[in-house]
Amino acid sequence: MPVAKSAPISPPSTIIVTGASGFIGAHTISLLLQHGFNVVGTVRSQEKATAVEELHVNITPDCAHLLTTAIVPDMTDPDAYTALFQSVQPSAVLHLASPFSYTATNFEQDLVTPAIRGTEAVLKASAHTSSVHRVVQTNSFACIYDAALGPRPGYTYTSRDWCPLTYEDGVNAPNAPVAYRASKTVAERLAWEFMESTRGFDFVSLCPAMVFGPFLESALPKSLKELNTSNQLVWDVVSAGENGDVPPTKAPVWIDVRDVAEAHVKALENSSLGGRRLLLAKGVYCNQEIADVARSIVSKQKHRMPIGNPGLREAEKHFAVDASTAQSDLGLKWRSLKESLSDLLPQLYRIEAQSIE
């Protein structure tokens, strides 16, 4: 792995953020602007560029002038970012863009190829831009978790673990979640291999678990159909009905989106993190816990939430995670599930109300 840079990246340095219109991207850009960084956010269309700019004018009006957007219509183009990077001369790149949809059907075209080629394009552009000192890539717990080994009670996953899925596994996957895990894993492995022969900048990999938490106030989806994948899982629990079943837990590890955003900023500012791979996770959870916490938070909506088996937890039935190293190195304290849901749930009910209107 490459040697870490000696100097931290600090404001008013220019940071390029790919995936600027995404859930994590919006929070990360907002935080960067508040810290005083100049930010160039990449999106795929003029419509998204306008939306991103308007969002941050509303959220951070005093520093929105630090944000510009750039349209990159096809992140799979090998030269997608080269001209932009050389024009902007960023000090660092936060590569957040990577597609995922449970409805994807052509896994190679929709998931695997974009993840791999997007990573290649960012790294290639960075290697040809002398101003770039660090690339931080948003990977996933999917790159760490080995689903083939099952629930593994008693085992603790850390950043040293790797998902064994390959390109072929992604293309021929039985479903979208498997294809996604393969796409993220292969893209991250490619990045580390690229860095073995690159010394112009260093690389940090952040691997967040399932990302819950509130939207930026001016970025509320217009309808429940537009919820991001992770918050849709929360809605599925809290809208299951008092007599309904608690839905099965799909991915039993989580983290709050605001902690993920802060981790990205810290990954820029901490010069010692070059060459590091960090797992971002508060810990394990289950949907029964979401139901229990939600019922304690939003009492007026209790009749819509499944009762299930209050107090029942599933932690002993599956693996654990240890993200204490990342928490310590980043200097962060992960938010609790109650704090995350307390800020998210009122938003979900507002989104539902405006959808009905």
pLDDT tens by residue, 269-288: 999 999 999 999 999 999 99
pLDDT (0 to 100) of residue 357: 59
Give the C-alpha separation, 29 to 41, whole Å: 8
pLDDT in tens, the chain (357 residues): 444 444 689 999 999 999 999 999 999 999 999 999 999 999 999 999 999 999 999 999 999 999 999 999 999 898 999 999 999 999 999 999 987 777 888 999 999 999 999 999 999 999 999 999 999 999 999 999 999 999 999 999 999 999 999 999 999 999 999 999 999 999 999 999 999 998 899 999 999 999 999 999 999 999 999 999 999 999 999 999 999 999 999 899 999 999 999 999 999 999 999 999 999 999 999 999 999 999 999 989 999 999 999 999 999 999 999 999 999 999 999 999 999 999 999 999 999 998 775
Domains of the chain: 14-212+253-282+319-334 (3.40.50.720)
pLDDT tens by residue, 239-264: 999 999 999 998 999 999 999 999 99
- pTM for the model stands at 0.96
Give residue 91's Cα distance to chain centre.
21
pLDDT (0 to 100) of residue 143: 98
